[in-house]
Amino acid sequence: MKGSFIGFWRGYSYNIVKMFINQFAIAIFGLTLAIATGKTENPTLQLICSAFSVLFYLFLIYTMTWEVGASDKIRVDAGRAKATPWRGLIMSLWANIPNFILALLIIVFTPVAVSHQWAGNTVAVAKFIALFIEGMYTGLITVEVAGNPLNYYSWTYLLITLPALLTSALSYWAGMHNFRVMSLFGLNYDNSKPTSGRPNMSGREKK
C-alpha cells in the first residue's frame, strides 16, 4: 500500500501540482471579476462572471486530465501500466487537499463559533483563505438559499469541490477511451496526427 501510494505521487505529482496551480490562478481571476462586478451592484452580472470563471476552470481541468488519460491509455495498451479508471479522481482528491482541510475546519468549528471566540476566529480565517484560493465561486455562493447566501452555510465549502472532482474523473475516463466532448457537436479530431491538436471543423472524418 505504501509503495503504491508513493509510486502514484511520483508518477502524477506534476499533474497534481499543476491542477492546484490552475485552481489558484483562476481563483485570482474569478476574485478580480467578482470585485469588479460587485462595484457595479449588478448581481446578475456577478453571477454570470462567476459562472464563466468556474467553467473556464473546469475546462482547464478537463483538457489536462484528458491528456493524462490519453497518455496512460498508450502505456496500458503497450502493457507498461495497469488500467485504473479512477486515476483522474484520485489526482483531483490530491489536488483538493487544501480545500478539504479548509472545509473541514469550517464544518467542525462553525457549531461552536458562537460560544467560543477562538473557534469563530478559526472559521473566519478558514473562510477567507477558502474564498481566496477558490475565488472563482465567489459570485455563485452569494446566491441566497433559505434566506441566507450559500457562503453562510459551512457545507458549501465542501460542495464547491465536487465540480472539480467530477470533471477530473470523467475527463480521465474520456481520455482513456479517446472520447472528446467536441465530438458531441460533430467536430471530429484527426487521429492520424495526434500532435496537431486541431479539430476537423467540417464535421466529417478525413480520408
pLDDT digits (tens, 9 = 90+) for 129-163: 999 999 999 999 999 998 899 999 999 999 999 99
Whose grid coordinates read 488500467?
83
Q: What distance in Å separates the CA atoms of residue 137 and residue 189, rounded to the nearest whole number?
A: 32
Q: Three-state SS for 182?
A: helix
Which of 191, 186, 181, 187 has the alpha carbon at shortest distance from 199?
187
Listed in sequence order, the residues at least 6 apart from 41 whose beta carbon sits closer than 8 Å to its beta carbon are: none
Q: Which residue has the higher pLDDT, 43 or 170?
A: 170
- Grid cell for residue 9: 505521487
Q: Taking the model in full, what pTM does it have?
A: 0.81
In this predicted structure, what is the pLDDT of residue 205? 47
In this predicted structure, what is the pLDDT of residue 188? 58
Exposure b/e, 184-194, CB count within 10 A at least 16 = b: eeeebbeeeee
In this predicted structure, what is the pLDDT of residue 78? 85
Q: Three-state SS for 200?
A: strand
What does the pLDDT look like over 73-92, one tens digit per residue? 998 888 887 888 889 999 99
- The answer on pLDDT for 1 being more than 60 is no
Average confidence (pLDDT) over 162-186: 86
In this predicted structure, what is the pLDDT of residue 194? 43
In this predicted structure, what is the pLDDT of residue 164? 96
In this predicted structure, what is the pLDDT of residue 129? 96
